[in-house]
Amino acid sequence: MFDIISSKDSNIKNDVLSGITVALALVPEAVAFAFVAGVEPMIGLYAAFMMGLITSAIGGRPGMISGATGAMAVVMVSLVSQHGVQYLFAAVILAGLLQILCGIFRLGKFIRLVPYPVMLGFVNGLAIVIFLAQLGQFKVANALGEQQWMQGTLLYWMLGLVALTMAIIYILPRITKAIPASLAAIITITLLVHGLDLEARTVIDFVRDMLPADQKDSATLAGELPSFAIPMVPFTWETFMIVLPTSVILCLVGLIESLLTLSLIDEMTDTRGRGNKECIGQGVANTVNGFFGGMGGCAMIGQSMININSGGRGRLSGITAAVVLLGFILFAAPLIEMIPLAALVGVMFVVVIGTFEWASFRIIRGVNKEDAFVLFLVTAVTVIADLAIAVVVGVIVSALVFAWKHARHIEVKTHVDKDGWKVYELQGPLFFGSVSHFRDLFDIANDPDDVVIDFQSSRIWDSSGIDALDGLADKYEKAGKKLHIRHVSHECLALLTKANKFVEINVNEDPRYHIASDKLG
């Protein structure tokens, strides 16, 4: 129903208007994630500004929006509660440095090894997470400060305004594309609520509900420019060991979410981002965050989808979003404080509909049950736990499924050549899952004195395969026979040192294989 790609061309007007739309949607998300992490709202807003500005300027994926995220905020909670916010700043700096190293050592390319079912599960899981996060906007604080669901007129107006926002986003592009539909919807709903004095919660109401009772009356999103400060922590080995575990997790979560979002935008826009450059961009942004009082972050799939849907394609869209957000904080806080939450929820609901891979239900009918299981598993773990765990679980399960399915996909064709040597033409991968079946393929007792294993249609994948080959050569030697190996790949030669004592390798005819190239980074 909703076309998530409304424009395929990048231009200044689209980027600027899209950036303004994204800036409006960043505010409640940044504030909410700051509360999740246990820090002040302004720390989340600073993070959204700095992450968005730096990654848009030097990152590897134009059009992708970064900011404070829930996936990273959850990781921060324990450190902040036990040691305070200054230790968080130190952890964010270290996480940023680790991300820079990942980019320098060109590790970003390996995100492309994530299986397709895992990617589908990631997309669907995040869509569900974004949807569930919006449900929190349907709660209000009672007299005791406890959160409870809206009721009565307030709920009805909320639902009606959300539906109207979604309708505007759906209908307006069919009339004109002069202004992003999401921005037009936010402005229209804001004018409608305040012009008719409707009973609707605004952004500042949301902030007040999050604050303690003694701070509610002074709630504001106005602030100053972030200032440079070295985290006030002891520069000792003990401090390093305190922040290191959190930093490593922040590094991995941030890169996994950012690089998967990058791959998703690549597919949606039919363009190609640069994973290694994005690693460096994310790392620099997080490092700067730590020195300027921000909570750090990573790519935001929801805001990135808003940007793409609104026509933002270039770096200017992300830079505009960051600068406009800072402008709101410094000069126009009352304007963003008056935006109805219903308008922002409606925008995010459209993002959910556009992000969820509805075609996956049809795909499931045509794929094997193992891939369908991985898809549902990653989706569930993303919702229940977090993105990083879901992706790691999905990759591991996919690898085990692959190993299980290919464990018996190894076989041989035999013939005797003109010299009387018996040649085993091996077909299929030789790895830990297939070594047991591999050993059963040979008839050592009845083979001639010279036996050849031809790897023209096979490959040795790991040390288990080497060990199996070495054991086979040893058995032939004990039987007074010699084992020869031909057409082994170039990359496998380094693995065969253990078997050199027993085997003869035909190097001149060996093919060369390239598993991963830095060009993919």
Cα angle 128, 129, 130 (rounded to 5 degrees) comes to 90
Render pLDDT for 411-429 as a digit per residue (tens, 0 to 9).
Answer: 899 999 888 999 999 998 8
Nearest to 343, CA basis, from 4, 74, 93, 24:
24
How far CA 256 is from CA of 111, 112, 366, in Å, comes to: 7, 11, 28
Cα(406)–Cα(97) distance, integer angstroms: 40
Cα(282)–Cα(297) distance, integer angstroms: 8
Collapse the DSSP code of 102 into the 3-class scheme (helix H, G, I; strand E, B; otherwise coil) and give the result: helix
What are the domain boundaries of the chain? 12-356, 363-406, 411-518
CATH topology of domain 411-518: Transcription Regulator spoIIAA (3.30.750)
Cα(166)–Cα(353) distance, integer angstroms: 11
Q: Specify the amino acid at residue 444.
A: I
Position 292 scores a pLDDT of 97
> Crossing angle, helix 237-269 and helix 116-135, to 10 degrees?
100
- Report whether 482 contacts 476 (CB < 8 A): yes
Q: Which residue has the tokens 């990759």?
A: 395
Cα(468)–Cα(461) distance, integer angstroms: 12
The encoded tokens of residue 53 equal 């500005």
Longest pairwise C-alpha distance within the chain: 97
- Report whether 394 contacts 364 (CB < 8 A): no
> Crossing angle, helix 181-195 and helix 12-37, to 10 degrees?
60
The encoded tokens of residue 203 equal 């952004």
Strands 450-460 and 422-430: parallel
Cα(270)–Cα(10) distance, integer angstroms: 13
Position 474 scores a pLDDT of 84
Per-10-residue mean pLDDT of the chain, 521 residues long, equals 46 91 88 83 94 96 92 87 95 97 88 82 85 86 79 93 94 86 91 92 86 80 91 95 94 90 88 92 97 95 89 93 94 90 89 83 74 89 82 88 77 89 90 86 91 87 80 88 82 59 46 40 44
User: What is the average pLDDT value for the chain, to the nearest integer?
Assistant: 85
Strands 298-299 and 66-67: antiparallel
